[in-house]
């Protein structure tokens, strides 16, 4: 290497350090941020692009709750649904979509999504002749909820909620990932895609056999059941050790323990 090349190499090295990692190849820039064009108003495109990954291609069978449920849409109403899409649900995987919240859609596009959901999936008759519960509500009393859970839910979710025909609904990790509202929505509307009956005992248009002799759940009973579910939340979910154990970090790990 000549002395000129050596100085050049040295200067280039300094420049790379000075530019920091912003300079490194492959790092995405602001221009690479996926934004949806504000001119797109088509429901199918907006849904597929922004919602289907979690709520399913046709509004069902996604990891998050189905939204192509006429009962859900009728009880929730457009105002509630618009609010959730605009602001998201804090501490959950539901992101805020309004641009003023850092999201990817204009207010008009949010309206287009909501109108499209109603156009495709709503049916006002879904709540005909029904006394419907409030979509949102305060938590009730867990002690009352326990008995109600045994009567209404243990058939599928097991005596203590730890799972039976259907999965656990008291698993601390599950509970740490969902809001109180998501639990309430589940008790009110069930999961039409997975066969969980709604508050009145219906799934797929049929009364569930285990619920045929039971009255529809009342608003206050729903609040009590949700309170019982949330009473299983723990401070440190996902820990392999009981919360009360103090770990002895100074303890020597022997070869046999590491195997
Ligand atoms: C990254 C996954 C994800 C995406 C993308 C997503 N959602 Fe959600 N959504 C969730 C989750 C998880 C919840 C439940 C949050 C909670 O309350 O715990 C939820 C909740 C909701 C709710 C309220 C459900 C209830 O309990 O009443 C509505 C309405 C909703 N989403 C609509 C949408 C729409 C419309 C879009 C697209 C514009 C969308 N979501 C995109 C994950 C997502
Ligand atoms: C006929 C059986 C059945 C009954 C009765 C039933 N569930 Fe479920 N539930 C299910 C199925 C199936 C799922 C889907 C997930 C799974 O397989 O665990 C589910 C899911 C849930 C979820 C998770 C919802 C979500 O969005 O993933 C909650 C919470 C829940 N049930 C609570 C209850 C409560 C509370 C009751 C009583 C009021 C109840 N369930 C009664 C079958 C049932």
- Protein residues with CB under 6 Å of any ligand 2 atom: 65, 152-153, 155-157, 166-167, 169, 183, 186-187, 191, 194-197, 208, 210, 225
Average pLDDT over residues 55-76: 96
Which pLDDT band holds residue 259 (cuts at 50, 70, 90)? Answer: very low
Whether 218 shows a pLDDT value over 80: the answer reads yes
Residue 126 buriedness (CB in 10 A; 0-12 / 13-18 / 19+) = middle
- Within a 10 A sphere around the Cβ of 112, how many other Cβ atoms? 19
Mean pLDDT of 237-247: 66
- pLDDT the model gives residue 226: 98
- Pocket test of ligand 1: the residue of 36, 40, 42, 54 to mutate, having most ligand atoms within 8 Å of its CB, is 54
Q: What is the mean pLDDT of the chain?
A: 87
Asked if pLDDT for residue 107 goes beyond 50, the answer is yes
pLDDT band at 237, cuts 50/70/90? confident
The verdict on the CB of residue 176 being under 6 Å from ligand 1 is no
The C-alpha atoms of residue 136 and residue 15 are separated, in whole angstroms, by 57
pLDDT band at residue 213 under the 50/70/90 scheme: confident
CA distance 84 to 96: 8
User: How many A from CA of 196 to the centre of ligand 2?
Assistant: 5
Query: Looking at ligand 1, which residue's alpha carbon is closest to its atom 29?
Result: 81
* pLDDT for position 4: 57
Q: Looking at residue 253, what is its pLDDT?
A: 56
**Does the C-beta of 51 come closer than 6 Å to ligand 1?**
yes
Spell out the residues 6+ positions from residue 35 whose beta carbon is closer than 8 angstroms to its own: 104
Give the pLDDT mean for 146-155.
96
Confidence at residue 245, expressed as pLDDT on a 0 to 100 scale: 57
The Cα–Cα gap between 174 and 72 comes to 22
Q: Where do we find the tokens 């639990």?
A: 183
């Amino acid at each position: 290497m000549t002395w000129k090349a050596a100085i050049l190499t040295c200067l280039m090295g300094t420049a790379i350090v000075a530019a920091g990692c912003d300079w490194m190849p492959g790092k995405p820039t602001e221009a690479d941020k996926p934004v949806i064009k504000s001119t797109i108003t088509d429901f199918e495109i907006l849904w597929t692009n922004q919602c289907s990954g979690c709520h399913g291609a046709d509004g069902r069978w996604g990891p998050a709750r189905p939204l192509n449920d006429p009962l859900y849409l009728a009880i929730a109403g457009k105002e509630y649904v618009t609010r959730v899409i605009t602001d998201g649900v804090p501490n959950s995987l539901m992101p805020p979509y309004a641009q003023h919240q850092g999201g990817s859609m204009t207010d008009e596009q949010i309206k287009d999504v909501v109108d499209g959901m109603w156009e495709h999936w709503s049916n006002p008759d879904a709540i005909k002749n029904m006394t419907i519960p409030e979509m949102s509500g305060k938590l009730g009393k867990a002690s009352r909820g326990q008995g109600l859970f045994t009567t209404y839910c243990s058939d599928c979710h097991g005596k203590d909620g730890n799972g039976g025909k259907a999965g656990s609904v008291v698993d601390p990790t599950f509970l740490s990932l969902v809001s109180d509202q998501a639990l309430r929505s589940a008790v009110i509307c069930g999961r039409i895609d997975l066969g969980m009956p709604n508050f009145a005992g219906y799934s797929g248009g049929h009364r569930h056999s285990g619920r045929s002799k039971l009255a529809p759940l009342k608003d206050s009973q729903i609040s009590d059941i949700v309170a019982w579910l949330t009473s299983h939340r723990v401070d440190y979910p996902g820990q392999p050790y009981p919360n009360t154990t103090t770990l002895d970090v100074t303890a020597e790990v022997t070869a046999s323990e590491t195997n």
